[in-house]
Amino acid sequence: MKKIYYLLGFVLLLFLLILIRLGTVKTDKVGLDRLHDIVPKRVKSQIFLLRSKLFEGKKNFVKSFDVDGVEHKFFKYYLNEENKEVSKNKPTGFLQQFEKKIIFVTGRGNFYLFDIKDLNKKKISLNKINNNFLKLINYDKNFLAKGPLGIRDVKINNNKIFVSYQKKISENCYNLAIAKSDLKLNITELKFSDFFSYDECSLKKNEKAWAVLSGGRIVFKDNHIFYTIGEMAIKNISQDRNSYFGKIIKIDLNDPKSPEIIAKGLRNSQGLFYDLDKDLILITDHAEVGGDEINIFKKSNEITNFGWPLASYGKPYGYKKINYLKSHKDNGFKEPAFYFKEESIGISQIIGYKMSNDKLRYLLTTMRAKSIYFLNFLDNEKIEINKKIYLGERIRDIIKIKDENMYIMSMETSPAIGLIKF
């Protein structure tokens, strides 16, 4: 009953606000597009949050779409978590499969579990996993508060779970670190310990981009972790060989204390995927205004340099007076396999789709564009877009369910767990 009263009060307040905005906001749009302009972003985020609380865990069919003649159905399971606007850019969460279960880890470090078979039901139930992660980070108040500090990736390898997160080194000075725990079949408890950390940190100077430029993605290859570390808003540090910021480092799973820098010239790599058959790693990297990249890393005797902050196909933010070099190759850098020319898509994770073919080989998610992209791999190690599908959600993470024609996603606009079945 309390929920109903709360909802009625909120609807009344919203109605009054819309009436006021109708008289004050100028727009040429009509219908739902006009309403979209009239309702403030903060109000919409509160509406989405309320919807998620009221319909927590319930399955919602959203739309169908066709890819290469195959029908795909898109569903949402709403989460009782803060969305991107309410949480002030804290990640909603990350997903991993372990046996017949899905582990979902929120940006604040809460660990949940649900059965894969529940994805065929009308509702999923998230069961909390006991763990010591917050104790490991000394209940860092900045990590727990609103804002972008939080979990940055979760991966499972050989019955161990690895968690990438932003670690406090000193007051308002952070870097990236990895914690790990053993995994058992019943998954009743996780006991984390430090796996990888380093002393260098980025000191917060103002409220502009800082912790969001962190990277933090993990893939496994040849008994190593390949780990992206963003520039954390430290100017020109991506080209500094004495710093881990703006790099990809290779960490030995048996000896994590001596990582090796294998790539530099990156800004904020929030997507990482190892293509086993082609033996290459795909990296997504955020530029500033336009210019988001998909890069390819192949084994090399030298550090691969992707060019940032010297070369970029994007434009600088308006307050910066910079002319980026455009051609990467002509200036001694590795050209991106693909870049988005004008659109700022907020590039995020990339994974395999039809891995037996070069056509539709990869699937890319985005945050700002709220879309997924199906990608072709070309003979010259370039990538092209095959198809774009608008889903209307910021998508932070995506995984494929093993032996099933299903993908699940962590989505930040509602927030929700998204499901694509085909």
Confidence at residue 15, expressed as pLDDT on a 0 to 100 scale = 66
pLDDT in tens, 228-278: 999 999 989 999 999 999 999 999 999 999 999 999 999 999 999 999 999
Number of H helices, E strands in the chain: 6, 29
Task: Quote the CATH superfamily of domain 56-421.
Answer: TolB, C-terminal domain (2.120.10.30)
Q: Return the closest-CA partner of residue 230 out of 281, 302, 283.
A: 283
Task: Please tell me whether the overall predicted TM-score, pTM, comes out greater than 0.95 for this model.
Answer: no
What residues does each domain of the chain span?
A: 1-39, 56-421
pLDDT at 32 over 50: no
Rounded CA gap, 292 and 133, in Å? Answer: 33
Confidence at residue 206, expressed as pLDDT on a 0 to 100 scale = 73
How far apart, in Å, do the first and last CA atoms of the chain sit?
39
pLDDT in tens, 192-208: 999 999 999 999 877 66
Confidence at residue 163, expressed as pLDDT on a 0 to 100 scale = 98
Which residues make Cβ contacts (< 8 Å) with residue 145, sequence separation at least 6?
Answer: none
Judge contact between 93 and 399, C-beta under 8 A.
Answer: no
- How far CA 280 is from CA of 209, 219, 272, 276, in Å, comes to 30, 11, 11, 7
Average pLDDT of the chain to the nearest whole number: 92
pLDDT in tens, 360-395: 999 999 999 999 999 999 999 999 999 999 999 999
